[in-house]
Structure 1
Amino acid sequence: MQDNIKLNKPYTILISLIVALGGFLLGFDSAVISGAIKGITVYFEMTDEMLGFAVGCVIFGAMAGNLLAGPMSDRFGRKKVLIFVALLFSVSATWSALATGYFEFIIARIIGGVGIGGAILIAPIYIAEIAPPKLRGSLVSFNQLNIVIGISVAYFSNYFLVQLENDSWRWMLGVEAIPALIYLISLFAVPRSPRWLVVRRNKEALAFETLTKIGGDDYANITLEEIKRSTSKKETKGKFSDIFKSKYATIMIIALGIAFFQQITGINAIFYYAPTIFEQAGGSTDSSFLQAIVVGLTNLVFTLVAIWLIDRLGRKPLLLIGTISMTIALLMATFAFKNATYHFNRETLSKVSNPEIKEALTELEGRTFDNQAELFSAVQLKLDDAAFLDFKRNEITNFIDINASLVLMAILLYVASFAISLGPVMWTLISEIFPSSIKGIAISVVGFFNSLISFSVTQVFPWELSNLGPTITFAIYGILSFCAVLFVYKFVIETKGKTLEEVEELLVKS
C-alpha cells in the first residue's frame, strides 16, 4: 500500500544520520584502544590479565548498558536515552585520557562501555521505527556504517598520534570527546519515535506530525493504522517473562543465534588487536599501524556495499555469502601461521631490544623451530616468567618467517566479509523482528548476550595468542564461522520489503 507514496527521503536520511552518529562513537571507542595498548601497558604496569580486562572492560560496561537501555527507552523514549548515551561518551573520553591509576582508568572505560551498550541497541531501534519499509534496511545500516567510519578514523588518529611522546595514548583516547559533544547537541534536533509515541504514550497527533514529514498525509494515515492494528492485538507493555513465551520462540532463536555468531567468530579481537596481530606476523610497529588503517578502510568500503545490497539482495543471502567468506579467510590465516618458522641467527638475535633476553637466547643461535609450541618450550627453559612474557609480547616478531601478505589478505577478506553480513545485518534483523510490546526488553536481553560473548572473546584473545598461538586461535574462529553458516541456512528468515507489523505477524505465527 505504501509503494506509490512519495517519501521525503532527505528528511528521513538526515534524522537517521544524526542518530547513527552514536555508531561513530561506538566504533571509535572500540578501536582507539588498539593504538593505546602499548602505552597503557607500560604506564599502568599491566599483566596479560590486566591488559585483557582493560581492553575488554568496555564490553563489561556495554552489558550494563544493554540491560538498562531497552527498558529505559520504553519508559522515557528512544531520544532521551540517546542523549544520555552521548553524555556518557563525553565523560568517558575525557576521564580515561586524564586517568593516573589503573582502577580509575577502568572505571572511565566502563562508563564509555555503558554508552556503547545503549547506542548499539537504541540507535537501530529508533531508525527502524522511523524508516519506511523500502528504506529501512539501508537506513538502519547507517548505524553500522558509522561504526566502521569510527573505527577507520580511530586507526588514522592513532597512526598520527603515536608519533607523540609517551603520553600519546592520552591524546588517542581524549579526542573522542569532540564528536561526543557534537552528537549530544545534534540529538536535540531529532523527533521522538512515532511508534513509541503511539504504543507507549498514545500520542497519535505527535506521531502523525512526524510521519507526515517523512511521507505526507497518506503515508502517515496508513502507517498509523498499521501501528494501531498491531497494538490492538496484544498488550502494549511487555514483561520480561513474555520473551520466554512459546509464540516468540522463533524470534528468540534467530536473535540470540545471530548475536552469538556475530561475536564468537572473533571480530572484536581482530579490531582491538589488529596492530598486535600484524606484529605477530613480523611487521614493525609503524607498518602494523598502517595495516590497521587498511583494515579500517576495507571495513568502511564493504559496509557501503552492504548498505547498497541489503534492500536489494536481502538479509539472508548477505549473511550466507559473508559467513562462508569469513570461514575461508580464517582458514587462510590459520594456514599462514601454521607454516611459519622461527629462526635464531646473528641477524635476528641482534634485533632483540631486551639485553637479558638477548643474552639468554644466544644459546639457541643456529636453531629453527617449525611451530610456536616448540619455540615456546625451548625459550621458556632459558628465561624467567617476566622475561618469557616480554618475549611473547614483544620479541617473538624478530624471529618469525611467515607469509605476511597471506595474513594481510586473510584479515582483509575476513573484515570485508563481516562488513557485508554479520556486521550490519544483525542489527537490522533484531531491530525488525521483535514486536513493539517486547522490543525494549527483548533487545536488551539479546544485546546483553551479544556483549557477554564479545567480552569473553576480547578477554581471552591475548591469552590465546600467548599460549595457544595464532594458528590454533584462528582455527577455532574458523570452525565457529562455519557453524554460523549452518545456523543462517537453517534458521534465519528474510525480512526485506516487509513492514514491521508484517514481520511480526510472520514470525509470531511460525
Structure 2
Amino acid sequence: MTEGSAEKVNMAFIAAIVAVATIGGFMFGYDSGVINGTQKGLESAFDLGKLGIGVNVGAILVGSSIGAFLAGRMADLIGRRGVMMLSAVLFLASAILAGAAGSSAIFIVARIIGGLGVGAASVISPVYISEVTPAAVRGRLSSVQQVMIISGLTGAFVANFVLARYAGGSTAELWLGFPAWRWMFWLQAIPAAIYFLALLVIPESPRYLVARGQEERAHAVLTRLFGAETASRKVVEIRNSLAADHHRPKLGDLIDKASGKIRPIVWTGIGLAVFQQLVGINVVFYYGATLWEAVGFSEDYALQTNILSGVLSIGACLATIALVDRVGRKPLLLMGSAGMAVTLATVAYAFSTAVTAPGGAVSLPGNNGVIALVAANLYVIFFNMSWGPIMWVMLGEMFPNQIRGSGLAVSGFAQWIANALISVSFPALAVSPGLAITYTGYAFFAAVSFFFVRALVHETKGRELEDMVG
C-alpha cells in the first residue's frame, strides 16, 4: 500500500527534514576525514611513532562502535531526533577538545567523544529518513546520507588542503599562534552548531511515536507528511506491525521466539555492515594522504588527490540516487562487489612494483603510478555507487519495525568494529607485509562479498517498512 497519493505527499516538507537529518552524515564524514592530513601535526606535537599514529587515528572508531550500539537502543528510548541532537553536542565538544589537545591522551579522549557522535549519526540518520519517506523514493532519499558523508569527507579534505596551503604546511603556524592542523579540527565546530540548531525544527519519527504509545503525535506528523487520510491508515499499519503483545522494543527481540536462534535478517545486516569495511574503503578516507606520500607523492599533491577522490565519490553517489529505486539494491551491491574486486587487485599489482631509491624515496616505475591512481579512484567510484550508500539504505529499511532499533544497534556496532580493525591495522600492514599484499586482502573480501549478497540479501525496493519480515 502506498503512503498517500502524489497530491497528498508533502515532498517539500519531506525534503527539508531529510536535508536536516543528513547533516549528521556530513558530520560523520567530516569528523572521519579531518584526521586525513593532520597526521604530521600529531606526530610532531605528540612525538608519535607508527603504532601511536594508528592508535590516535583509530580512537574515533572506539567511540563510533560504542555510539552505534548505544544509539540503536537509545533511539527506542528517547527518539530518533533526541539521539541526533545528542550526537550534535558530541561533535561540537570533540572539535573543540581535539584542536586544543595538549597530549596524545587528551586527543584520544576527544576523538572517542567525536566517535560517539559519528556512531550515533551513522545508524540513526538512515533510520529516521526511512521512517519519514514514501516507499517509492525511500532508497533515493536514504542515499542522500552517503552523499552527505562524502561531502563531509571532501569538505574536510578541502579545508585541510586550504589551511595547509595558506599556512605553508599542516604543522606551520596559522592563526593566533596555533598550527594549521589544530584549526582543521576547530572548523568542525561550525557545522556541528548548525546541525544542533536545525534539529530543533524537525519532527520526531512517527514510527517511534506509535511504539511509545503517542499515536496522536504520530498522526499529526504523518498528516504533515502524507495527508490526513493516509495518516490514519499508517498509524493502524504501524501499530499492527509491532509485536503482538505491543511491548516496547528490546534487544531480546532479535532472537526468534520459535527457534530460540538469532533471526536470519540480523545476520544479513551484520554481514552487510562488516563487508562494507573489509573492502578497505576507510584506508583511503583515513590514510589517503599518507598512502600517496608513501609511494612518492608530495604532501600538497597527496592532499589534492584526496579532494579528487571526494569529488568522484559524490558523483558516484548521485548516480546511485538516480538508480537505486529503479534498478534496486541487490543489483547495485553485486556490481559494486565485482568492480571493487577488480580495481583493488589492480592497485595491489601497481604497489607490488614499488622501488626504493638509495636515498630512501619510494616511487612506482613507468606508468604504474598513473595505473594505481586511476584504479584507486575507480575503486572509490564502484564503492560509492554500491556498498557506500546501499548498505546504509538497507540497514535503515530491512528490519521489521519491532527490531529496527536493536537490529541497527548490533549491525552498527559490527560495522564500526570492522572499521577499527581495518583502520588501526593498516599502518603496520603497510610496512609488513606491505601495500601489495594488504590490498590483495581487500580485493579478496570484495570478491567474497559478491557471493554473500547473491546468497543472503533480499531486495527491498518499493516495499513498505510495515511489510519487512525476518
Aligned with 2:327: secondary structure? Answer: coil
Aligned with 2:37: secondary structure? Answer: helix
Corresponding letter in the other structure for 2:407: A
Tell me the C-alpha RMSD between the 2 structures.
1.5
Asked if the contact 1:92/1:108 (under 8 Å) is kept, the reply is yes
Residue 216, structure 1, aligned to residue 227, structure 2: yes
Instruction: Look up the match of 1:315.
Output: 329
What's the offset of the Cα at 1:436?
2.0
Aligned with 2:325: secondary structure? Answer: coil
**Among the aligned pairs, what percent are the same residue?**
36
User: Which of 163, 170, 186 pairs up with 2:182?
Assistant: 170
Aligned with 2:382: secondary structure? Answer: helix
Output the TM-score relative to the length of structure 2. Answer: 0.94
Corresponding letter in the other structure for 1:492: V
Instruction: Look up the match of 1:482.
Output: 447
Corresponding letter in the other structure for 2:15: I
Q: How many pairs does the alignment contain?
A: 454
Q: Deviations over 1:144-167 (max 9, x none)?
A: 111010011111111111131251
User: Which of 292, 296, 299 pairs up with 1:282?
Assistant: 296
Structure 2 Cα separation of the partners of residues 4 and 240 of structure 1: 36
Structure 2 Cα separation of the partners of residues 412 and 119 of structure 1: 26
Structure 2 Cα separation of the partners of residues 229 and 486 of structure 1: 35
Q: How does 1:36-435 map to 2 (within 5 A)?
A: 36-163=38-165, 164=167, 165-166=172-173, 167-200=179-212, 202-231=213-242, 233-245=244-256, 246=259, 249-344=263-358, 349=359, 395-397=360-362, 400-401=364-365, 403-435=368-400
Unpaired runs of 5+ residues, structure 1, are 350-394
Aligned with 2:76: secondary structure? Answer: helix
What's the offset of the Cα at 1:396?
3.7
Q: Could you list the runs of 4 or more consecutive aligned residues of structure 1 that deviate by over 6 angstroms after TM superposition?
A: none
Aligned with 2:36: secondary structure? Answer: helix
Corresponding letter in the other structure for 1:502: D
Aligned with 2:35: secondary structure? Answer: helix
Structure 1 Cα separation of the partners of residues 252 and 70 of structure 2: 16
Output the TM-score relative to the length of structure 1. Answer: 0.87
Asked if the contact 1:337/1:471 (under 8 Å) is kept, the reply is yes
Instruction: Look up the match of 1:503.
Output: 468
Q: Deviations over 1:343-378 (max 9, x none)?
A: 43xxxx3xxxxxxxxxxxxxxxxxxxxxxxxxxxxx
Unpaired runs of 5+ residues, structure 2, are 174-178
Asked if the contact 2:351/2:364 (under 8 Å) is kept, the reply is no
What's the offset of the Cα at 1:410?
1.1
Per residue, is there more helix in 1 or in 2? 1
Q: 1:10 to 1:248 in 2, by over 3 A?
A: farther
What's the offset of the Cα at 1:242?
2.7
What's the offset of the Cα at 1:276?
1.5
Instruction: Look up the match of 1:9.
Output: 11
Aligned with 1:75: secondary structure? Answer: coil
Q: 1:238 to 1:409 in 2, by over 3 A?
A: same
Asked if the contact 2:337/2:449 (under 8 Å) is kept, the reply is yes
What's the offset of the Cα at 1:208?
1.2
